[in-house]
Structure 1
């Protein structure tokens, strides 16, 4: 039922901690992940308990993903990561829409 799913989603958002652990700019471990909105070898857009997170790099790939536990590992050359405000969210999705035309 959609109503129950919304309640469960709300529980996941409030109870999870959000952490980033970067190792040698080659491996990024993220906790508190709620959803992976989009990704390719250059960018990942994640919904986390702290807001939307945009990760940029080169030759990026998903190593581990467990949305139930809110854990994600990304490997590749990490160039940057940035939290996106609500007004910047549409701009980030515009980047991905250009890539997937």
Structure 2
């Protein structure tokens, strides 16, 4: 993959050419890869556009969702 367009971004904690750490409306997101470049960041619209070789995208839950167990915990109760 050479380009990635993400919506729901509320903040970018840090970025380098190998990792981008973002906050989204659904929790934290970690984008890993090589030669990553932020092409466009519009926090007012919640948009992020990256270019580079993306090797992994990881999401972590919001803190309040961890305490309640999240969607699947409620589904299988």
- What count of residue pairs does the alignment treat as equivalent? 63
Match of 2:18 in 1: 42
Match of 1:30 in 2: 6
> Does residue 74 in structure 1 map to residue 32 in structure 2?
no
Q: What are structure 1's unaligned runs of at least 5 residues?
A: 1-24, 88-101
> How much is the aligned-residue C-alpha RMSD, in angstroms?
1.3
Residues 13 and 22 of structure 2 are in contact (CA less than 8 Å); yes or no, is this contact kept in structure 1? yes
Return the structure number with greater relative CO, CA threshold 8 A, min gap 6: 2
Q: Which has the higher helix share?
A: 1
Q: Which has the higher strand share?
A: 2
Higher mean C-alpha displacement, 31-40 vs 77-86: 77-86
Q: What are structure 2's unaligned runs of at least 5 residues?
A: 64-77
- 4+ residue runs of structure 1 moved beyond 4 angstroms? none
TM-score when normalising by structure 1: 0.59
| Deviation (angstroms), 1:86 | 5.8
TM-score when normalising by structure 2: 0.77
